[in-house]
Structures are given as structure tokens and as C-alpha cells.
Amino acid sequence: MRVLTGRHPKGKNTPACGQTVTARYPWQVPDTHLTPPALPRRIAHLDMDAFYASVELLRYPQLKGLPVVIGGGRRKEDDLLGRLRLAYPDQDWSAEHLAEIPLAFFPRIAGYTGRGVITTATYAARTFGIGSAMGLMKAAKLCPEAILLPVDFDQYRHYSRTFKAIITEIAPLMENRGVDEVYIDFTEVPGGQRDGGRVLARLIQKTIFEATGLTCSVGVAPNKLIAKMASEFNKPNGISIVHEADLQTLIWPLACRKINGIGPKAEEKLQKHGIHTIGDLAARDPLWLKDNFGKAYGAWLHEAAWGRDDRPVSLESEPVSMSRETTFEKDLHAVRDRSELGRIFTRLCEQVAADLQRKGYEGKTIGIKLRYDNFQSVTRDQTLDVYTADAATIRQVAGQCLKRVDLSRRLRLLGVRVGSLVKQGTAPAAPTPYSETIGNSSFQVNEHGQTQLLFPLD
């Protein structure tokens, strides 16, 4: 069995380089009168613009300004060059000539049939209403002329590492949040206070662009919560500066959903109570919020609406997911080998739960991965409103994900993954009464008579 734990999508963090350490010696008695007043916290959130698509445009600059979507398969350079040689036999095609590929050669999404999903789209494609997680068939209807490019995760990881290394050279206190986003503590970095942080944000933007050709957007605010919202204000290639005093004018008019930690279910419930904007939320009595949303989550909702967030920018590179998977010795069938599969499935869930507990994490996105006998792989996941490291909960939700895949083919691999991890005990949301995702009958009962044929809850 392969053990996959602590996956970091963007590779190794390199936070400490260039970090200054101030040494204090025992004979230096700290004189509080001479200690300069603490600088106001300035925290930046930086997010790359249309990341995967922008990386693709680096090798295909002829697509700049055009609607381009990324998804539907993995890039195979040899296939691409082979097709180019066939289509344009008079030219010499190698990886250095990609910028010369005529526009007519690029596949369009018109007539796409299949179940592929878009990872991201260029801003030109977004004007047609196309966006991340949309099915390619739907996108084809919205903009048939859009160009479809396959994904190349190695390339995205390479640029992810590159832009993060640039940031830590300038501002060493950086926290990895995903393949294309980070938090940066600007407070004590030169330029980090000037113009609210704009000077430093501009320097970072410019340095990343000069080194990679990629643009990003930055929000600088008193804390992570507000900075995360602010980085979206001026996308693409924007800088937004938010001060504490801007709470009412810039933050309160926004939809509650803009708060990182308010998901679709919480939003729905807030709306049922007539709470639409963050301002509406701020106006509610915190006791009422606690009564209706649970003690911890209710209290957090109140703090968030008032723009309060003390979380430090953490240098540690936090894992975003933990998973376990196993390739069977012989291919197994969901019906004929159901008890064996059931046992394996339960064991995988228990192992992921044990990994999470041992390392002190809990997560709320639970997913499965299957590989069929024809080597085709599928994944499905489901996000809960609560964080968990509990084997039975993982088993139950992963079981629900299984309902959403074709189980008529034989299987060669099965995997279970828990993502959206947080350190145990730091989750913003406590179990909430409105969580409908985990139900007792979820796995065994299936109106199509399908799931009970699968891996029973042994």
C-alpha cells in the first residue's frame, strides 16, 4: 500500500531565507521606555491571476486576449508535436516553437462531448460566463470558439514554487495557502507600512512579473480574513489596501459568502434569517448567532463580521490533504467482490483518520479515487460544514461519493482522501445544527438499489 500523507501542492516551502533574527543578550536589560511602539499589523493576501491559464499563455503567447479554458485532460507534449508535424509538415516542430503554432491549430470547445470540467479560464473567457468547475459541455454552449488546452500540473507547480521563492526573498514571513495563493506578513518588512502596504505589494507584483511574466493581485489589510477578501477587489493585476476604518464602507456591503469560512449551507441559512451582507451579520446580537449557529461558529461569525482575526501568518507549510490508496493484487468488482472491497474501503478510511489524528489535523473535504481496469481514474469529493478526523464519518461521506461513480467496471485501485485541512482545534466552525450532509441512512440506502450492492457498512 502506498501511503500518501501531507501533500503540499506547491512543493517545499522556503520561508526562512533572508529572515532577520534579532539577538538579545543577557546584559541588555530591555528598556520598555525605549522600545518603539508596535507597528500596526499589515497582512497581505496574494493570489495569482487565472493561474493555470496564465501559465499556458506563457508558452502560447499567441493566445493572449482570447477566450481559453483549461481542462479535459492532461498535456502530452509528444502527441502535440506529432500532430503539429502532421498538420504542418514543412515546418520544424519542437518544444521551442510552440509560440509559432497557428491559431487555427488549437482545438475549440465547440461540440465537446464528455464529462471534463474546467479548472480555470482566461478573463476573456470569463466575460462569456465561463469559470472554474464548470462542465466543458456547458462552456461549449456559452462560447463555442473558446480554445481548450489540457492541464500540465508539473508546469503549474514549477511556477508556483518560483513565485513563492521570489516572495520569500523580499518578505520572509510567508504562508503557503495553495498552488497560487499565499499570505505575507508585511508588518516589519521595508515598505510594508508605506501607503498601507501598497509600496511593498507593488514591488512584489513587479518582481514576480519580471521573473515569470505572470500577474497577481494583492490585498493588504490588518489581518488575513480581510486581506483574503481584499485581494479579489481589483483582479486582475490589482492592489487593494484596506484599513480598520474601512470596515463599514468596503467590507460590510459585501455578501456574507465573501468571508472565507462561510460556505453555501451557512449562507443559505443566514439568508433565511434575512442576513445577506456582512453588515447584516455584524448587526446581529452575538447571543442570537450562538443560539442559531452553535456556540463556536456563532461567535466566530460575529468576530468575522466585525473584521477581527488574530491568526498569525504561519511559516510552516501546512499539508492541504492526507490520503491513503491501495492498488489491488487483482482487479476487483463492486458486486462480486463487495465484502473484500468493503473491508479495504473501511481500512483506508481508518488509516486516513489515524494519520490525521496522529498529525493533529482535521478536514472537511472527503474524497475517493478509483482506477478502473482500463487505467482510467475518477475522483469524487464532498465538502462538509464541519471538520472531522473521525473514521466513521470519513467512511460515511466517502461512501456517498462512491454513489456518484460508475461501478460496473472492475477496479484496480481505491483511495480515500481528506482535504481542506486545519490544525485540530483551530477550525472556524464547530459542528452546526444545519449540517445536512451527514445522515444516518446515507450509505446503505439508495433509491436506485445501487449502493447497497457495493461496500456494505460492515
Q: Catalytic residues, which ones?
A: 181
- Cα–Cα distances (Å) from 160 to 148, 164, 208, 364, in that order, read 22, 6, 11, 24
Q: Segment near Mg ion (CB under 5 A), from 53-61, 163-171, 172-180, 308-316?
A: 172-180
175 interface partner picked from ligand DCP, Mg ion, none, CB below 5 to 8 A per type: none
Report in angstroms how near the CB of residue 343 gets to Mg ion at its nearest: 41
Q: How many CB atoms lie within 10 A of CB 333?
A: 15
Helices within 237-310 (DSSP H only): 264-272, 278-283, 286-293, 295-305
Report in angstroms how near the CB of residue 365 gets to ligand DCP at its nearest: 12
Report in angstroms how near the CB of residue 402 gets to ligand DCP at its nearest: 21
Q: Which is nearer to Mg ion, 47 or 246 (CB)?
A: 47
Angstrom distance (rounded) from CA 141 to CA 110: 7
Q: How many CB atoms lie within 10 A of CB 145?
A: 12
According to CB under 6 A, which one of 132, 207, 234, 452 is a site residue for ligand DCP? 132
Find the binding residues for Mg ion in span 178-217 (CB under 5 A). 180
Q: How many CA atoms lie within 13 A of 357 on its CB side?
A: 10
CA 177 distance to own-chain centroid: 8
Q: Segment near ligand DCP (CB under 6 A), from 48-56, 252-260, 271-279, 337-345?
A: 48-56
CA 346 distance to own-chain centroid: 27
Element (DSSP H or E) covering residue 419: strand 411-419
To the nearest 10 degrees (0 to 180), the angle between helices 295-305 and 286-293 is 140
Residue count of the chain, please give it.
458
Find the binding residues for ligand DCP in span 352-391 (CB under 6 A). none
355 interface partner picked from Mg ion, ligand DCP, none, CB below 5 to 8 A per type: none
According to CB under 6 A, which one of 56, 84, 116, 120 is a site residue for ligand DCP? 120
Site string for ligand DCP, 190-229 (x = CB under 6 A): ----------------------------------------
362 interface partner picked from ligand DCP, Mg ion, none, CB below 5 to 8 A per type: none
According to CB under 6 A, which one of 24, 133, 425, 449 is a site residue for ligand DCP? 133
Nearest to 246, CA basis, from 271, 260, 227: 227
Does 55 bind Mg ion (CB under 5 A)? Our answer is no
388 interface partner picked from ligand DCP, Mg ion, none, CB below 5 to 8 A per type: none
Angstrom distance (rounded) from CA 450 to CA 329: 25
Q: Which is nearer to ligand DCP, 164 or 395 (CB)?
A: 164
User: Three-state DSSP class for 4?
Assistant: strand
As beta bridge partners, residue 312 has: none
Report in angstroms how near the CB of residue 400 gets to ligand DCP at its nearest: 20
Nearest to 429, CA basis, from 362, 353, 368, 380: 362
DSSP code at position 453 = G
Return the C-alpha cell found at 325. Answer: 490508496
52 interface partner picked from ligand DCP, Mg ion, none, CB below 5 to 8 A per type: ligand DCP
According to CB under 6 A, which one of 41, 45, 51, 174 is a site residue for ligand DCP? 51
Q: Which is nearer to Mg ion, 179 or 438 (CB)?
A: 179
State the residue for C-alpha cell 513587479: 206
Q: Summarize as ranges the residues that interact with ligand DCP (CB under 6 A).
A: 47-52, 119-120, 132-133, 179-180, 235-236
Binding site for Mg ion (CB under 5 A): 47-48, 51, 180
